[in-house]
Amino acid sequence: MAELQQEFQKQFGKPPELTVRAPGRVNLIGEHTDYNEGFVFPAAIDRVMNIAASPVDGKTVTVYSLDYRQKDSFSLDAIEKSQYGWANYLRGVLKIMRDAGHKVTAFNAVISGDVPQGAGLSSSAAYEVAVARLVSTMGSIGLSGKNIALLSQRAENQFVGVQCGIMDQFISALAERDSALLIDCRNLEYRAVKLNLEARGVSIVITNSGVQRGLVDSEYNARRNECAEGVRLLGELSGHPIHSLRDVSLSDLDEFSTQLPEVVARRCHHVVSENHRVLAAVEKLEQGHLRSLGKLMNESHASLRDDYQVSTPEVDLLVNLTQNHPGTLGARMTGAGFGGCTVAIMETTTVDEFVKNVLPLYEKQTGRKPEVYVCTAVDGASVN
């Protein structure tokens, strides 16, 4: 943050009037359920996007990226795509907020973040949420966390062009420290569930497989379409219109699955069973049964690998090695898939040994250097 403030002074000749931070996230369980109106259970991590800014008169927004050492400048009256990829998240949020009728005023800003990019830890959602929070504060709009999340998601869907669900923006805006949020993506009701990591002697260990997420957008959209096809066919087969896979029980699915195309049946099975696992995982956590929670995480991974088919051989290897480490309670891939990170719940006293003895095995077999982030669960976006 100090570096950001210094850079602001250097770029714009005076200190910034406010700073905003918004965190990245790790999803503990509930993958590819959000756009199926299901349940998710993410936490925000202590890797964040920071913005230092001051309002200015007129219509010109000027933003300097400390990470890319590039400057982007544009008029609020003509927000088009930028030549700089990093600038489009900011432009997108401003455009969506203006289109929604909010008062968006001009500003100077410097941005910088330490959420690893392309690793499935939602660096883009953190960025969008930070921008929405900044604009809401500067224009005294007073947007709720939910509205900030929804506007940020809309920017990602409509301006950036990625058809993501609501999970990432929601947790970045509304997270609570040392907690994960159980979010019902059908109505956006949620509740914070305490993790008590320290008292329980466990850590959230995120490992970056070093496989940059490839194909993620096209495969992500393909999965969404397969789920929509499942909803349509299950509605026809059962004779009752179905709104989403949330309306489908495992026994309904058993009854009709042989009449579905095999791939569609697998996708539906993942989503319906994952919703059950999320609710069971929260119950186990609240009862302090961390081994049972871990087992559900392992099952989630198997379902993502075999039914939803969004893992990769490297990520499967990393998950296997992690699960076989004696201090691990559970491990799975996290995020959209096709590379990126794994998440494990691990006894804290064994993390060093994991890093020293297990990760080199992964590196030896894949030639990729994994990175480990031992994270704490932090609060959602905030302004200073």
Residues forming contacts to ligand GLA in the complex (CB under 6 A) are: 31-32, 34-35, 164-165, 167-168, 335-336
103: phi then psi, degrees, rounded to nearest 5? -80, 110
| Shortest Å distance, C-beta 160 to ligand GLA | 11
Q: Which CB, 327 or 335, lies closer to ligand GLA? A: 335
Q: Which CB, 52 or 206, lies closer to ligand GLA? A: 206
Q: Which of 374, 383, 334 is nearest to 355 (CA)?
A: 374
Quick check: 235 and 252 in contact, CB under 8 A?
no
CA 293 to chain centre: 20
Q: Give Cβ neighbours of residue 123 (< 8 Å, ≥ 6 apart).
A: 24, 49, 113, 115, 116, 117
Q: C-alpha angle 202/122/332, rounded to 5°?
A: 45
Helix runs in 100-144, H state only: 123-138
Q: Which of 72, 100, 101 is nearest to 86 (CA)?
A: 72
Quick check: 307 and 267 in contact, CB under 8 A?
yes
Q: Which CB, 61 or 164, lies closer to ligand GLA? A: 164
The residues pairing with 60 across neighbouring beta strands, listed in sequence order, are 75
DSSP assignment of 132-185: HHHHHHHTT----HHHHHHHHHHIIIIII-----SHHHHHHHH--TTEEEEEET
> Which residue in the block uniquely carries the two structure tokens 């500003």?
107
| Shortest Å distance, C-beta 224 to ligand GLA | 9
Q: Which CB, 109 or 204, lies closer to ligand GLA? A: 204
Q: Which CB, 7 or 34, lies closer to ligand GLA? A: 34
| Shortest Å distance, C-beta 40 to ligand GLA | 7
Quick check: 42 and 167 in contact, CB under 8 A?
yes
The residues pairing with 343 across neighbouring beta strands, listed in sequence order, are 206, 332
Distance in angstroms (rounded) separating the CA atoms of residues 72 and 87: 7
Query: Does the annotation mark 247 as catalytic?
Result: no
Q: Which CB, 28 or 94, lies closer to ligand GLA? A: 28
Q: Which CB, 41 or 107, lies closer to ligand GLA? A: 41
Q: Which of 314, 327, 323 is nearest to 362 (CA)?
A: 314
Catalytic residue among 34, 72, 168, 307: 168
| Shortest Å distance, C-beta 59 to ligand GLA | 31
Question: Any idea which residues carry the catalytic annotation?
Answer: 168
